[in-house]
Amino acid sequence: MHLWQNIDKTVWQGRDDSAESPIAKRLFQTVVQAPSFAPQDYPEHVALLGFECDEGVRLNKGRVGAKEAPNALRKALANMADHGSHKPIVDLGNIQFAGESLDAVQNVFASCVTKCHQLGLPTLVLGGGHETAYAHGKGIFDAYPNQKIGVINFDAHLDIRTAEMGTSGTPFKQLYQNAKSQDQEFHYLCIGASLPGNTKALLATATDMGVEIIWDNECHPGNYAEIATQIEAFMAKVDIIYLTIDLDALPFSEMFAVSAPSAYGVSMKDYLHFADQIMASNKLKAVDFVEYNPSLDRDQLSAKTAARMIWHFYHQWRS
| pLDDT at residue 85 greater than cutoff 80 | no
| pLDDT at residue 76 greater than cutoff 60 | yes
Residue 319 has what pLDDT?
A: 64
CA distance 120 to 225: 33
Cβ atoms of residues 123 and 116 within 8 Å:
yes
Q: Give the confidence band of 310 by pLDDT, cuts at 50, 70, 90.
A: very high
Q: Give the confidence band of 16 by pLDDT, cuts at 50, 70, 90.
A: very high
Amino acid letter for position 36:
S
Residue 173 has what pLDDT?
A: 98
Q: Give the confidence band of 2 by pLDDT, cuts at 50, 70, 90.
A: low
Percent share of the chain, pLDDT over 70:
99
Query: Has 130 been labeled as part of a binding site?
Result: yes
Mean pLDDT (the chain, rounded): 96
Q: Give the confidence band of 39 by pLDDT, cuts at 50, 70, 90.
A: very high
| pLDDT at residue 70 greater than cutoff 90 | yes
Q: Three-class SS of residue 209?
A: helix
| pLDDT at residue 1 greater than cutoff 60 | no
Q: Please, what are the domains in the chain?
A: 4-316 (3.40.800.10)
Cβ atoms of residues 125 and 286 within 8 Å:
yes
CA distance 31 to 40: 17
Cβ atoms of residues 117 and 140 within 8 Å:
yes
Round to the nearest angstrom and report the end-to-end CA distance of the chain: 28
For 139-157, the pLDDT digits (tens) are 999 999 999 999 999 999 9
Cβ atoms of residues 132 and 50 within 8 Å:
no
Query: Has 208 been labeled as part of a binding site?
Result: no
Q: Assign residue 282 a region: left if phi > 0, alpha if psi is -120 to 50, beta otherwise?
A: left
In angstroms, the Cα distances linking 180 to 30, 96, 98, 152, 174 are: 41, 28, 30, 18, 10
Query: Has 159 been labeled as part of a binding site?
Result: yes
Residue 242 has what pLDDT?
A: 99
Query: Has 220 been labeled as part of a binding site?
Result: no
CA distance 80 to 73: 12
Query: Has 157 been labeled as part of a binding site?
Result: yes
Question: Quick check: pTM over 0.75?
Answer: yes
Query: Has 312 been labeled as part of a binding site?
Result: no
| pLDDT at residue 249 greater than cutoff 60 | yes
| pLDDT at residue 286 greater than cutoff 60 | yes
Residue 268 has what pLDDT?
A: 98
